Copies of this chain bind each other. A is one copy, B any other.
Amino acid sequence: VALVKIIEYAEGSAEVKVVYDDIMKTRGIDWVNNFWKTLANDPKELRRVWQNVKQVMAPGALDPLVKEMIYLAVSVTNGCEYCTYSHTAAARKKGMSDAMFMELMAVVGLANETNRLSDGLRVPVDRQFIP
């Protein structure tokens, strides 16, 4: 159960509807997911977060699928349930296959393992890695 009201389109203020419309148009879909419907309790926060997502996730030096998989890797590392479901769905929509998903998970798992080994053994940074 959400800790704030889920604000449906019909209930939203004009400021909220503008963002909902932009989300649906940008993504080419006819619905808005719950993440935005909870943020809508503070319309300025809704707009702020959406503008960030729109800017950061736009095609650039990295392609959109790669960005989405990086987003998912972070979400899994943080153990965020909502984010893992939503970004897996988003990545699949952008072309992530089952094989790619399983490989992504393998990399995420291994990175979490060696991160802790490095931290635990207190491995000194090699001078070759210092820019």
Contacts and interface: CB of A to CB of B under 8 A. Distances in A.
B35 A99 contact: no
Interface in A94-112: 97-112
A83 B115 contact: yes
A18 interface: no
A131 B70 contact: no
Interface string A53-92: 1011100111000110111111111111111111111000
Given A84-B3, A112-B78, A118-B83, A99 B60 contact: yes
The prevalent SS among residues of A at the interface is helix
A34 interface: yes
Contacts of A130: 1, 85
Contacts of A39: 117, 121
Interface string A1-37: 1111010000000000000000000000001011100
Nearest to A32: B126
Contacts of A42: 99, 102-103, 106
Contacts of A81: 122, 125
Given A48-B52, A97-B61, A129-B89, A79 B76 contact: no
